A and B are shown apart, each in its own frame.
Chain A
């Protein structure tokens, strides 16, 4: 069956430290993958999406980058975190079982201190 995994669930990082969040999908091939961020009390902001290995589209220029080293792996990174990077980070994939809507991973709650 198709599943999506994200880790870690929570993360507390100091300002200026690096970040790496990983998302993997199982049971499907060549999925479209997405990274979203949700600031506290706010809506979903699309950060990056990828339609295939090595293909990354950035929606919002900022302190983050994304990579897709393998078909079912999507990584969100930062070299130096800012306080404003705090938020709930969600990975999603296009799920044909959901009428081609998105199925989200369980998310990573990042607090930059």
Chain B
């Protein structure tokens, strides 16, 4: 069935360093890949997304890359700050079904 694997489950970095989170999806028909940030007890918030017709997208300190052949996509956060500490979820979606398949999440800790 449809599946999204996400690694690592936890990630600790020093403030100012970069963080990378990787996801792999199983359904080759997936064409939309959002990333959500969720702080403790709060709603998931979209931070960046990418569609299958592009390989990379950047928004200030955040970037996402997509490799359709390998069926994996990654989130890159540069110059990390303590407020980046949260749980990050990747997801995959394909046209026609409308649902998101989420990864299991990565708990990012940025150490000051």
A binds B: no
Partner-B contacts on A (CB < 8 A): none
